[in-house]
Amino acid sequence: MKRTILTAVFYLLLFSCKQPGNDFQASPGTPESLQEESKSEISFGKGRVNEDLVESLYAELLEKTPVLNELETAIENLQAQKQDSLYTFEKFDEKNKSYYNSTKGYIANIKDSLLRMKIKAIIDNSLDSYDLRIATNENLISTLGVKDKALGDLHLVLKLVKTLPMIEKYQAENKPSSKPIENVIRHFDKAIKQADTLAWK
């Protein structure tokens, strides 16, 4: 009896899994990143790792939008220019700071306390003068940092604003029918009813 019940349930479930409508086909014009087996899905062992869909969709958009491509090139160039513009000063500042840090050990080794205090005052004055000398550079670097952050934020916003309509269009045009699920539920109900009937005979 138990084997008969299990066999009946097995065949009913097997039949329900073979119902039509389970194969999903994306509508024409659907971005490649949103199609089945797209490049945005990378096989990884037995599982699958999904890439960042925002980046994938934006990359597809770049291929079709010259003005966005120009902006991306400009942003990349700006980052390179930023590093180049800072390089010389950072090296200069690094050498000066290294020097003043080294003076601390020398001052600490002077045995005469009055002489030690005198040379410390001279070094401190020199350091203060140096800080004033580079104040303009420091302020400009701070401003550059603010600008870089603002551009970075807007770059992220741009990606989201430009890809959101793409995913919403995909949602509107490709939502799968609920009929296959409803059909399987009906078969489950039928299997449950039959199993219940057979169990109590």
The stretch 71-89 carries a mean pLDDT of 97
Cβ burial of 119 (10 Å; 0-12, 13-18, 19+) is middle
**In this predicted structure, what is the pLDDT of residue 180?**
94
**3-state SS class at 69:** helix
The more confidently predicted of residues 13 and 113 is 113
pLDDT of residue 147: 98
CA torsion, points 115, 118, 124, 127, in degrees to nearest 10?
-80
- pLDDT tens digits, 147-163: 999 999 999 999 999 99
Average pLDDT along the chain: 86
pLDDT band at 38 (very low <50, low <70, confident <90, very high): low
Q: Categorize the per-residue pLDDT at 66 as very low, low, confident or very high, splitting at 50, 70 and 90.
A: very high
Do the bridges between strand 47-50 and strand 41-44 make them parallel or antiparallel, or are there none, so unpaired?
Answer: antiparallel
Give 68's contacts (C-beta < 8 A, 6+ positions apart): 61, 62, 162
Query: How far is 26 from 31, CA to CA, in rounded Å?
Result: 9
Does the structure show a pLDDT above 90 at 8?
A: no
Nearest residue to 8 (alpha-carbon basis) of 150, 147, 193, 171: 193
Q: With the CA atoms of 133, 137, 143 and 146 taken in that order, what torsion angle do they form, in degrees rounded to the nearest 10?
A: -110
pTM: 0.71
pLDDT recorded at residue 51:
75
User: Under a CB-based contact definition with an 8 Å cutoff, are residues 13 and 191 in contact?
Assistant: yes
- Count Cα atoms within 13 angstroms, Cβ side, for 195: 16
Res. 5 pLDDT band, cuts 50 70 90: very low
The whole-angstrom separation of Cα 104 and Cα 99 is 9
Gap between the Cα atoms of 71 and 155, Å rounded: 9
Mean pLDDT along residues 136-148: 98
Residue 29: band (very low, low, confident or very high) from pLDDT cuts 50, 70, 90: confident
Mean pLDDT across the stretch 121-127? 98
Nearest to 166 by CA among 20, 58, 10: 58
pLDDT for res 40: 46
Give the pLDDT score at 7: 53
